[in-house]
Amino acid sequence: MIRTPYLLFLGDAPDQLAAKVAQGIADWRPENVVGQFRMPNCKADVAAKDMTLAEAYEAGARTLVVGVANRGGVISEAWIDVLCEALEIGYDVASGLHNLLRDEKRVKATSQRAGRTLYDVRVPTVSYPIANGVKRSGKRCLAVGTDCSVGKMYTGLAMDAEMRSRGMKSTFRPTGQTGILIIGNGIPLDAVVADFMAGAVEWLTPDNEPDHWDHIEGQGSLYHISYSGVTLALIHGGQPDALILAHEPTRTHLRGLPDHSLPSLEALRDTALPLARLANPDCEVAGISINTKALGEDEALRLCEETEARMGLPCVDPFRHGAGRLVDALAGI
Amino acid sequence: MIRTPYLLFLGDAPDQLAAKVAQGIADWRPENVVGQFRMPNCKADVAAKDMTLAEAYEAGARTLVVGVANRGGVISEAWIDVLCEALEIGYDVASGLHNLLRDEKRVKATSQRAGRTLYDVRVPTVSYPIANGVKRSGKRCLAVGTDCSVGKMYTGLAMDAEMRSRGMKSTFRPTGQTGILIIGNGIPLDAVVADFMAGAVEWLTPDNEPDHWDHIEGQGSLYHISYSGVTLALIHGGQPDALILAHEPTRTHLRGLPDHSLPSLEALRDTALPLARLANPDCEVAGISINTKALGEDEALRLCEETEARMGLPCVDPFRHGAGRLVDALAGI
């Protein structure tokens, strides 16, 4: 478990998009954010208070989270200066970058000398078991997508937030590096060894109270041939009681696969549900989540209404319109 | 590529089953076997010539292959003595054990001093790419099972052997440690990191001549929740032109999952084929392979006939009755 609260490191982000990890934390766990640390030429801003390392530590921050993508596959000397200073002050440092903190000699040595912890959240740290398929208590919801990167994580975070605001028992269960940094724990599923994928998901979502919901972060798509195996392991290890179908309506082909078109929502439903029922015979498709970011307000509402009528399932953009109707749809499950 | 031919190390195998890796090599690549090395209390025999390390080296053997399971999760001192002697003589040593040769200090040091290579075939040695889904030339056949361990590897090996005996262009493509030791190369798919599973399979089965067949070794089952993700990655990375349905008729539940029953062959067909067509729209189910080892001759033949009539597909036990009819079934594909 990464120590909270955080100081968000935005570095020298060239634009707002480069800081999307920091934005995700600020959007979904503002209570974990003491402030943001920006270098002189930083072009991103997640609307947190600008603070020095010393000020934020004084204000309670205990982990400096790298909330920005690095450039050119290297961690610059300027970044390393900041990370080392943070370690000296008493911060742990957490990162989801491909370049690992532990591989940076100066950062590693400073963390050891200062007795602080480096969290490279892309790297599994647990020996996960082989999945045993035994039914677990409590309820689980999983978003499955017509493609990668269509809003599955935001759907789960929004449903979790809605449930907690209603006083319901709910936990978001991260399976990727952004989710792990937002919540402070989880499994980096795409980096787990093949035989242990489903077991890692079982480990992530243990027995729980009968009225507790785990919102498991989705990954990949059954239709995306590069990552479909990860998705199926998530479905079978997660043994969800409810599936949410997730879609982005402007995608012209599967991400990174120009020769592969997206499935219809009907096809996704008909593929995912029978597979999910192998692990949990009671699984149902509960609703549809559409990422309408690229659409105007009228167009977004019209698409959701049309899709809802066509599919006979509640359909919303949970980030734009709230996840209330998706949470309502879980009531009978 | 592991150097051939081999001397098969049977160690102190307590029974014949413990030496099933050596048996697989002797069954499928007898031309790679110079002899077998047995310790005094060995209870297994793969009907190769008993030889000392020196005799077999003299006869041309270049790799000592550990063809036997170890006991109690340790590699004994008695084994280590033999492995080190082999390295001193000039052998490489190859193993698919969970306990790695490289983790045995004396074996590691001896291999380095002697300038020889240790092959721990459970451990990936290649940085596999992310799958790109681009259609490759040549043909591919993959066995998919109603469960794990139902004869998928033997089906592929038998079809490959039949094709080569007919003078057809054919390659067996191993995806597990036994297959890798039999052939001398391949990918240990169950040990590959999740994101790279499908890419590893693409790497394993590259472009080939239009009339060349790859027989890709199957793994797991879409219905086995512990390993289904590995199976789907194999289907999507392999982009097979033909599927063979593989089944063991006496199994009462999925291996290791007492609460999960096996699917029917019809259900397996209807699940696997649409998923396979996402990667290769021309994929067809070509035949059925039944592992009849537990049945008498009459019973085995009757089951194959009944299944063939019911499913409308050629159905054989390729190990017992030959793979000719399965190879015939690929003619139109």
The last residue of a domain, from among B54, B86, B120: B120
Residues B95 and B195 in one domain: no
Tell me the β-bridge partners of B287: B244
Say if A70 falls within a structural domain: yes
Say if A97 falls within a structural domain: yes
Residues A157 and A275 in one domain: yes
* Residues of chain A in Cβ contact (below 8 Å) with chain B: 130-135, 189-195, 197-199, 222-223, 225-234, 236-237, 239, 256-257, 259-260, 271, 274-275, 278-279
Residues B260 and B322 in one domain: yes
How far does A40 lie from chain B, in Å, by closest CA?
36
Residue range of the domain that includes B293: 139-332
**DSSP β-ladder status, A92-95 and A63-66:** parallel
Mutant choice from B136, B140, B195 vs A, greatest count of A C-beta within 10 A = B195
The last residue of a domain, from among A87, A120, A153: A120
Of B198, B228, B274, the CB nearest to A236: B228
Of A191, A198, A257, the CB nearest to B225: A198
Which positions ≥6 away from A122 have C-beta within 8 Å?
Answer: A96, A97, A98, A100, A177, A188, A191
Q: What is the pLDDT of residues A166-216, one digit of tens each?
A: 999 999 999 999 999 999 999 999 999 999 999 999 999 999 999 999 999
Question: Residue B226 and residue A132: Cβ atoms within 8 Å?
Answer: yes
Question: Residue A222 and residue B232: Cβ atoms within 8 Å?
Answer: yes
- For chain A, give the mean pLDDT: 97
- For position A78, what pLDDT does the model report? 95
Q: How many structural domains are present in chain B?
A: 2
What average pLDDT does range B247-251 have in this prediction?
97
A41/B25 Cα distance (integer angstroms) = 63
How far does A133 lie from chain B, in Å, by closest CA?
6
Q: What's at A117, amino acid-wise?
A: T
Say if A129 falls within a structural domain: no
Residues B77 and B186 in one domain: no
Q: What is the pLDDT of residues A4-29, one digit of tens each?
A: 999 999 999 999 999 999 999 999 99
Residues A181 and A311 in one domain: yes
**Between B110 and A332, residue with greater pLDDT:** B110
Residues of chain A positioned with their CB less than 8 A from the CB of B236: 225-226, 228-229
SS3 for chain A is: CCCCCEEEEEECCCCCHHHHHHHHHHHHCHHHEEEEEECCCCCCCCCCCECCHHHHHHCCCCEEEECCCCCCCCCCHHHHHHHHHHHHHCCEEEECCCCCHHHCHHHHHHHHHHCCCEEECCCCCCCCCCCCCCCCCCEEEEEEECCCCCCHHHHHHHHHHHHHHCCCEEEEECCCHHHHHHHCCCCCHHHCEHHHHHHHHHHHCCCCCCCEEEEECCCCCCCCCCCHHHHHHHHHHHCCCEEEEEECCCCCCECCECCCCCCCHHHHHHHHHHHHHHHCCCCEEEEEEECCCCCCHHHHHHHHHHHHHHHCCCEECHHHHCCHHHHHHCCCC
Residues B12 and B89 in one domain: yes
Q: DSSP string spanning B219-288?
A: -S-TT-TTTHHHHHHHHHHH--SEEEEEE-TT--SBTTBTT-PPPPHHHHHHHHHHHHHHH-TT-EEEEE
Residues A49 and A146 in one domain: no
Residues B252 and B203 in one domain: yes
**pLDDT-based confidence at residue A299 (cuts at 50, 70, 90):** very high
Mutant choice from A98, A226, A271, A283 vs B, greatest count of B C-beta within 10 A = A226
H/E run at residue B207 = none
Q: What is the pLDDT of residues B45-99, one digit of tens each?
A: 999 999 999 999 999 999 999 999 988 878 999 999 999 999 999 999 999 999 9
How far does B281 lie from chain A, in Å, by closest CA?
11
Q: In what order do the strands lie in the sheet with B139-145?
A: B169-173, B212-216, B139-145, B242-247, B284-290, B315-316
Residues B183 and B311 in one domain: yes
Residues B114 and B261 in one domain: no
The domain that contains B302 carries what CATH number? 3.40.50.300
H/E run at residue B142 = strand B139-145
B241/B253 Cα distance (integer angstroms) = 29
The domain that contains B36 carries what CATH number? 3.40.50.720
Say if A36 falls within a structural domain: yes
Q: What is the pLDDT of residues B289-333, one digit of tens each?
A: 999 999 999 999 999 999 999 999 999 999 999 999 999 999 989
Which letter does DSSP use for residue B193 in this model? B
Share of chain B above pLDDT 70, in %: 100
Say if B1 falls within a structural domain: no
Of A195, A198, A256, the CB nearest to B191: A195
A214/B91 Cα distance (integer angstroms) = 54
Say if A92 falls within a structural domain: yes
Q: How many CA atoms lie within 13 A of B55 on its CB side?
A: 9
A122/A106 Cα distance (integer angstroms) = 20
Mutant choice from B224, B259, B278, B283 vs A, greatest count of A C-beta within 10 A = B278
Closest of B306, B264, B267, B314 to residue B286, by C-alpha: B314
For residue A161, pLDDT over 90 is answered with yes
Question: Residue B194 and residue A233: Cβ atoms within 8 Å?
Answer: yes
User: Model's pTM, two decimal places?
Assistant: 0.95
- For position B332, what pLDDT does the model report? 86
Q: Which ipTM value was assigned to this complex?
A: 0.94
Which positions ≥6 away from B270 have C-beta within 8 Å?
Answer: none
Three-class SS of residue B63? strand
Closest of A256, A232, A240 to residue A155, by C-alpha: A240
Q: CB A54: neighbour CB atoms within 10 A?
A: 11
Tell me the β-bridge partners of B18: none
* Upstream peptide bond of A258 is cis (omega within 30 degrees of 0): no
User: Could you tell me the CA-to-CA distances from A123 to A3, A94, A102, A202 in Å, in that order?
Assistant: 18, 12, 11, 18
- For position A70, what pLDDT does the model report? 86
Say if B129 falls within a structural domain: no
* Residues of chain B in Cβ contact (below 8 Å) with chain A: 130-135, 189-195, 197-199, 222-223, 225-234, 236-237, 239, 256-257, 259-260, 271, 274-275, 278-279
Q: A321 is written with which tokens?
A: 């319109």
**pLDDT-based confidence at residue A73 (cuts at 50, 70, 90):** confident
Say if A132 falls within a structural domain: no
Of A223, A230, A236, the CB nearest to B195: A230
Query: Chain A: residue nearest B236 by CA?
Result: A225
Residues A215 and A296 in one domain: yes
Question: Residue A192 and residue B194: Cβ atoms within 8 Å?
Answer: yes
The last residue of a domain, from among A120, A155, A188: A120
Mutant choice from B140, B148, B196, B225 vs A, greatest count of A C-beta within 10 A = B225
- For position A71, what pLDDT does the model report? 81
Residues B105 and B38 in one domain: yes
- Give the residue carrying structure tokens 């035994």: A134
